[in-house]
Structure 1
C-alpha cells in the first residue's frame, strides 16, 4: 500500500497516510516515485496559504521522478524512467508527494540517461523554468557576455538560473536580501551581489540602465524596478510572483528603450519544447549539481519545510524522498 502526504480541509491539514492502489486516480500510467521536490507552489498548497488546492482530500506535489510500474499507453513501458512537472499536477490532479501515483502519459517525459531520478528532481520545475528562461533570453538575442540580473537568487529557480547563465559566460548579478548567502551565490557563479532593498521600493519610470537581461522570479515592485533599469533593448524573462501579481510600471521602458518582457511558463509548455529543455539540462556540467545546496526530507517533514520556505528560510532545493519518514 503506497504512502502519500494527504491534505484535508481540516486540522491537521497534512498527514502521511497509506492508500490502497485502487484509491489512486484512474489514469493510464502508474509510476513508482523515487523523488519529488518542494517548490513555492507546493509550499502554498501544503500550508493552505495560497488558493492552490480546492478539492479535498488531495495529494500535493507538482513534480516527481520515478519508474513506470504499469502502463496502458504505447508511450511508456514498465521499467521506463520518467519525469513529471506541471500540467496541473499537484494543483488540480493528485501529485508527487507519494510512493506511487497514476498519471496521464501525456504529462510525462522520458528521463534523460545522463540524469538519475534524484538529479532530475534536484532540477525539477525550478531547473526546468530556469532553463526555459535562458532559452527565451537566447531566442530574444541576448548575447553571451551580457550583464544579466537574477532576482530571488537563493530560491530554486534563481539559484539554478545563476549557475546556468554563468556557465554560458554571462556576467551574472544576483539579487538577495540574505547577507549570509553572498558567498554561496558567488560560488554558484554570481560576479556581483545586489541587495534586494535596492529594487523593492518605488521606482521612477526609467532609471539608469544597468543590465542587458534579467530573470525575475519575484514580480511586483521588484519587476517594475528591473524594467526601469534595463539597458537599451534589454530582455527580461518573468517567471514568478513571490512579490505580488501587480506590476506598477509604465510603458516608458518599452517605448523609449525597446525593453522586451518575456513571459515564461513551465506548466503547459508543449512536449517537444519540454523534452528539448530536459536534454539541455542533462548536458549541464556535473559540478553545477554538486554546488547546489540541497536538503532531503521525508513526507512527514514536508509541512515543516513548506512553512520555512514561505518564511524565506530555505535556499537552493528541498528534495522529498517519499520512502523516508
Structure 2
C-alpha cells in the first residue's frame, strides 16, 4: 500500500505534545484484522484533549487521534465484512490507545466495526459520531427509566450547543418532547439552543448554587454532558424518581453532593459509557439514528479538511464551538 496522509500527535522528550499532518505507511497503524478506507471522521472534546500536553487521553505516542471514523472496507479477515461494505467505528480504544480516524486508512479489530444501516451515509454517520451516539444512549437510558413523551416532562440539557447536547435536543424535539430547557454560558448560544429544540434557556452564569442539598423541583429528566459543580446543583433540583444521564466532564470530574437527592427523592444518576457499549446495543441505536430518531437534515454541522483540525480543536478548548464538526478525509 502506498503511503497515506494521517494527522499525527507526538510527544518530545519533555512530554510536550505537537501535532501535524504526516505521510505514514500501514506499519504505523494499530493492530487489527480489518482495513478501512476512511471517508469521514469527526472532532470531539476528547480529540481536543488528545492534542493537548497533559491532556490525559492519549496513552502512547506517536498516535493518530480521532475517536470516530466512517468509510468502506478495504479488506478483512472476518467473513462478516467484504470489500466495499460501508462501516463506522466509534469508541473502544480508537484514537487514544489505538490509531484512530484522522487518517486516510485505518486498521482495527473487526469486533469494533458496525455496518452502516442502509439509509445512513458515511457522512451522516459522522454528523452524529460519538456525540450523537452518546446522545442516543442518554435518551435510551432516560426512556428506560420512565421518560415518556405522553407525560411531557420537564427535561434539562446541559451543554446544549455542544455535540452531545445539540443532537439530544433535536432528537427529543423530533420525538415530540416540548418542555426542554438548555443551559448556556454565553449570550450568543441562546439563539442556537432554541434552534436545536430548546424551549427555555438557563444561563448558568446568572445562577449561583445556594449549597442546599435539596432545592425546588425543576426537572424530571436530564441529559448532562458537562459534569462537575453543575451536576451537583442539578441533582438538588430533580423531581422525585427523576433521572440524570451523565456522559461528560467538561465542567470537572469531581461531584460534590449529598445522598439526599437519592434517598429522599429517589433520583437516579445514570452513567453513560459510549466507549465500550456492547455491539448489540450499538447496532440497535445506530438503526434508531438512521430511522425513527433520524435528525441528520436538522443537524448543525461544519465540514472541514484534515489541515483544519488544529483550528477547530482550539475553538473547542475555548468553548466557542457549536454543534458538530465533521472531517472530510477523502
CA distance in 2, matches of 1:62, 1:16: 17
Tell me the equivalent position of 2:175: 168
Describe the superposition over 1:194-222 as per-residue Cα deviations: whole angstroms up to 9, x where unpaired: 11225664531001000110011111110
- Structure 2 partner of 1:295: 302
Q: Distance in 2 between matches of 1:252 and 1:223?
A: 14
Q: Aligned partners of 1:24 and 1:261: how far apart in 2?
A: 38
Task: Give the match's secondary structure for 2:181.
Answer: strand
Superposition TM-score, scaled by structure 1 size: 0.95
**What secondary structure, in the 3-state scheme, does the structure 1 residue paired with 2:261 have?**
helix
Partner of residue 103 from structure 2, selected from 93, 98, 104: 98
Flag structure 1 segments of 5+ consecutive residues without an equivalent: none
User: 2 CA distance for matches of 1:35 and 1:245?
Assistant: 30
- Cα gap change, 1:209/1:102 in structure 2, threshold over 3 Å: closer, same or farther? same
CA distance in 2, matches of 1:111, 1:251: 42
The 1:296–1:48 alpha-carbon spacing in structure 2 relative to 1, beyond 3 Å, is farther
Superposition pairs for residues 176-195 of structure 1, below 5 Å? 176-195=184-203
Give 2:71's match in structure 1, choosing from 66, 69, 74: 66
Summarize the Cα distance change of 1:314–1:188 in structure 2 as closer, same or farther, 3 Å threshold: same
- Report the CA distance between 1:12 and its aligned residue: 7.1
Instruction: Tell me, yes or no, if structure 1 residue 265 matches structure 2 residue 273.
Output: yes
- How many residues end up aligned between the 2 structures? 322
Partner of 1:312: 319
- Per-residue CA deviation, residues 240-261 of structure 1 (Å, 9 max, x unaligned), is 1100111111011111111111
Shift of 1:297: 1.4
- Gaps of at least 5 residues in structure 2 are none
What do the CA deviations read for 1:297-324 (whole angstroms, capped 9, x no partner)?
A: 122211121111011011101111223x
Bigger drift between 108-117 and 174-183 goes to 174-183
> In the alignment, what sits opposite 1:234?
242
Shift of residue 146, structure 1, vs aligned partner = 0.9
Q: Structure 2-normalised TM-score? A: 0.94
**SS of match in other structure, 2:51:** helix
Map 1:121-136 onto structure 2 (within 5 A).
121-136=126-141
Q: 1:85 to 1:202 in 2, by over 3 A?
A: farther
Runs of 4 or more consecutive aligned structure 1 residues displaced over 4 Å after TM superposition: 198-202
1:223 & 1:121 partners in 2: Cα distance?
A: 28
Is the CA contact (8 Å cut-off) linking 2:33 and 2:109 kept in structure 1?
yes
- For 2:196 and 2:292, the matched residues in 1 are separated by 13
Aligned partner of 1:8 in structure 2 is: 10
Tell me how far 1:8 sits from its aligned partner: 0.8
Instruction: Quickly say closer, same or farther: Cα 1:199–1:243, change in 2 above 3 A.
Output: farther
Moved more, 188-197 or 18-27: 18-27
The CA deviation at 1:284 is: 4.4
Instruction: Pick closer, same or farther for the CA change 1:218–1:200 going to 2, 3 Å.
Output: farther
How far off is 1:133 after superposition?
Answer: 0.4
RMSD, matched Cα:
1.5
How is 1:15-164 mapped onto 2 (pairs within 5 angstroms)?
15-144=20-149, 145-164=152-171
Q: What is the CA–CA distance in structure 2 between the aligned matches of 1:199 and 1:41, rounded to whole Å?
A: 28
How many angstroms does 1:185 deviate by? 1.6
Residue aligned with 1:204, SS:
coil
